[in-house]
């Protein structure tokens, strides 16, 4: 779904080729070694183990720095009721997700190169909070499956706000 | 009762069965969403397309795009360890795409 959708878009493919190191992970096969190789990604393995439903479907994208410790952006799950708001379906949103991850990586790299001090610590804290908020927005905020009338109601359309 | 004398059917059982059937019917009615604008394959790539979140639209989207194989042309790195090494050397971030290829029975967790 995500691969034949957003990941097959030519703009996304060009950006990935130019500015990212893309890797696919079958989490049911390689999930156990994530904590050792990239500690920042271990939570995705623990999520997979948290519920039986993730044995049948699991598709999400994560941007992570070269150390594998700091997650920079994530695309969300792409459940059907997130159709229109999730990057997995919409190439424009996926492009925005990638550019956000790239921009945060640039900020993180420059902050790591900066001399230590209170300003640097504050900027790193701001970046961490921003990343955490975006992860919550990507995964937590849209986990409620609509029921009844709410299910039939039109969902917000991207760019309409 | 006369037809099935060996089965004891209490009023509570009948009421519960009826309730379950009613709930199943109600759920089925909820699933039947109203017809909404269909995002066909040609509309999908237009920037002003409307994405309306219904189960039908999502299924149509998947059916319209599932044949696309362009993602295979991306130079996916063989494993995460080498991808992270390359990212450190080139100063680029890593995009990790998590997926499950097929159902693997892992036994009880």
Tokens matching residue A111? 């902050």
Structure confidence at residue A101 as a pLDDT band (50, 70, 90): very high
Residue B16 in domain: yes
Please answer whether residues B26 and B18 qualify as being in contact, where contact means their C-beta atoms are separated by less than 8 angstroms.
Answer: no
**Cβ pair A37:B74 closer than 8 A:** no
Residue B73 in domain: yes
Residue B77 in domain: yes
Interval B54-61 mean pLDDT: 69
Average pLDDT of chain A, as a whole number: 80
Q: What separation in angstroms does the CA of B92 have from each of A71, A114, A131?
A: 13, 18, 18
Range of the domain at B83: 11-90
Q: Chain B residue with minimal CA distance to A102?
A: B93
> Of the candidates A51, A40, A11, which has an alpha carbon nearest to the alpha carbon of residue A135?
A40
Domain count, chain B: 1
Number of alpha helices (DSSP H) and beta strands (DSSP E) in chain B: 4, 1
Cα–Cα distance for residue pair A76/A60, rounded to 1 Å: 6
Query: What does the domain layout of chain A look like in residue ranges?
Result: 6-152
**Cβ pair A13:B74 closer than 8 A:** yes
Q: Looking at this predicted complex, what is its ipTM?
A: 0.81
What digits encode the pLDDT tens for the residues A129-145?
899 888 887 776 554 55
**Residue carrying the six token digits 């956000």:** A100
**Residue carrying the six token digits 């900027």:** A123
- Return the residue in A51, A56, A83 with the most chain B beta carbons within 10 A, the one to mutate for interface testing: A83
**Cβ pair A82:B99 closer than 8 A:** no
Choose the most confident range, by mean pLDDT, from A23-32, A77-86, B28-37.
A23-32
Residue B53 in domain: yes
Q: Give A73 to chain B, closest Cα distance, Å.
A: 9
pTM of the entire predicted model: 0.67
């Amino acid at each position: 779904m995500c691969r034949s959708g957003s990941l097959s878009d030519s703009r996304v493919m060009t950006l990935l080729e130019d500015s990212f190191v893309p890797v696919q992970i079958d989490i049911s096969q390689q999930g156990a070694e994530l904590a050792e190789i990239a500690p920042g990604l271990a939570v995705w393995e623990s999520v997979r183990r948290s519920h039986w439903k993730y044995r049948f479907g699991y598709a999400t994208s994560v941007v992570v720095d070269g150390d594998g410790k700091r997650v920079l952006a994530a695309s969300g799950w792409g459940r059907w009721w997130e159709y229109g708001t999730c990057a997995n379906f919409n190439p424009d949103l996926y492009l925005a997700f990638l550019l956000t991850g790239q921009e945060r990586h640039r900020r993180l790299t420059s902050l790591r190169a900066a001399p230590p001090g209170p300003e640097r610590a504050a900027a790193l804290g701001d970046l961490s909070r921003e990343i955490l908020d975006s992860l919550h927005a990507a995964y937590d905020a849209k986990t409620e499956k609509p029921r009844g009338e709410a299910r039939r109601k039109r969902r917000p359309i991207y760019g309409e706000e | 009762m006369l037809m099935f004398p060996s089965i004891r059917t209490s009023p509570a059982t009948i009421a519960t069965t009826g309730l379950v059937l009613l709930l199943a019917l109600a759920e089925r009615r909820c699933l039947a969403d109203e017809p909404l604008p269909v995002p066909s394959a040609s509309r999908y790539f237009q920037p002003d397309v409307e994405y309306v979140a219904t189960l039908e639209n999502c299924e149509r989207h998947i059916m319209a795009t599932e044949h696309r194989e362009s993602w295979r042309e991306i130079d996916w790195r063989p494993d995460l360890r080498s991808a992270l090494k390359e990212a450190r050397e080139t100063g680029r971030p890593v995009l990790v795409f998590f997926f499950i290829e097929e159902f693997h029975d892992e036994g009880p967790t």
